[in-house]
Amino acid sequence: MGQVVHTLPEGKAVDCVTSLGNEIFLVRDKERDQVEVYDVNTYRLQRCLTVPNARFFADMTSCEHYHCLYIAEDHVDCVHRLEVDGTATHWPVNDVPRGLSVNAAYNLLVTCFEVRKIKEFSSHGDLLRQLTLPDDIINPKHTIQSRSGQFIVCHGDFDDPLHGVCMISADGRHIVHSHGGQRGSDIGQYDMPSHLAVDDNKCVYVVDVFNRRVTLLSPTLSYTREVVSSDKLKWEPDTLYLDVQRRRLYVTDNKWDDVEWTLGRVVVFSV
């Protein structure tokens, strides 16, 4: 079980969190200064960055290779590339983006839930390829590509009958392994799995929003254990980021008021 080591301040809802170098980056639902930057050791606020003309964000990820952040904005269907000095550019996705991740080729994977597609972009927004997911995967939320080329995808929204995590073949056509099924709260079930992380052992961390927990799966997506339980959270978890080197798991913890996230914070766990 992960142990709480720190909690970043409460405030506006936290859309997403990541780290880059020696800093933690989190995004809040604000008109300016949306990106708060904290020291990774002291957890002290260092500065704030503004994403110009942007407000509603779906996800964020970081790239050590290009030393930048990518932030998905779902109201205008674009991705922002943000340098650590605050310089920002953006490009269109041409579908509603949800989850972001960087693969072994340092390209950006964008999960587009409405059209059930994974789009792969270069670091500057060139569309390299797109894959349509198998029919059983409805409302995919987040995708991570393994070094072997397979895709791990979490899927399922409020009223969907199936909620789970799948491993998809490198061509995007076949489900290799899966975990989950009918929406529920038992072990082996999910109630809106929304975000993923993978560690050096290829084990998979899954945010289970309305069951208020984070689950750990084996490399073949078998249930291992609960990493974060509901008693360690104040509200509902929505996204997460795993700092593999420091063994720190950052989990967004937000208050859901029927139609939107209103308050939020980030809880830091040792794992």
What are the structural domains, with CATH classification, of the chain?
3-270 (2.120.10.30)
With H, G, I as helix, E, B as strand and everything else as coil, classify residue 184.
coil
Long-range residue pairs from 169-174, CB within 8 A, at least 24 positions apart, any chain: 171/131, 172/118, 172/131, 172/132, 172/133, 172/134, 173/134, 174/134
68-73 β-sheet, strand order? 57-63, 68-73, 78-83, 88-92
What pLDDT sits at residue 75? Answer: 87
What pLDDT sits at residue 260? Answer: 82
What pLDDT sits at residue 192? Answer: 96
pLDDT along the chain (271 residues), means of 10: 94 96 94 95 97 90 97 95 94 97 98 97 97 95 96 95 96 96 95 97 97 98 97 96 97 90 95 94
CA distances from 80 to 26, 52, 83, 193 (A): 14, 9, 10, 25
What pLDDT sits at residue 118? Answer: 98
Burial of 157: CB neighbours in 10 Å, binned 0-12, 13-18, 19+: middle
Give the tokens for residue 26.
Answer: 């989190």
Q: How many CB atoms lie under 10 A from the CB of residue 191?
A: 17
Q: How many CB atoms lie under 10 A from the CB of residue 147?
A: 9
Secondary structure E strands in 74-192 = 78-83, 88-92, 100-102, 108-112, 117-121, 127-132, 140-145, 151-155, 162-168, 175-182
What pLDDT sits at residue 248? Answer: 98
204-208 β-sheet, strand order? 193-198, 204-208, 213-217, 223-228
Give the tokens for residue 195.
Answer: 């975000």
Q: How many CB atoms lie under 10 A from the CB of residue 151?
A: 24
What pLDDT sits at residue 29? Answer: 84
Q: Decide if 66 contacts 108 (C-beta within 8 A).
A: no
Residues 6+ apart with CB under 8 A from 87: none
DSSP secondary-structure letter at 246? T
In the block, tokens 């995967």 appear at 137
What pLDDT sits at residue 223? Answer: 97
Residues 6+ apart with CB under 8 A from 105: none
Q: Kindly report whether the global pTM for this prediction surpasses the value 0.75.
A: yes
Longest dimension (CA), the chain: 46
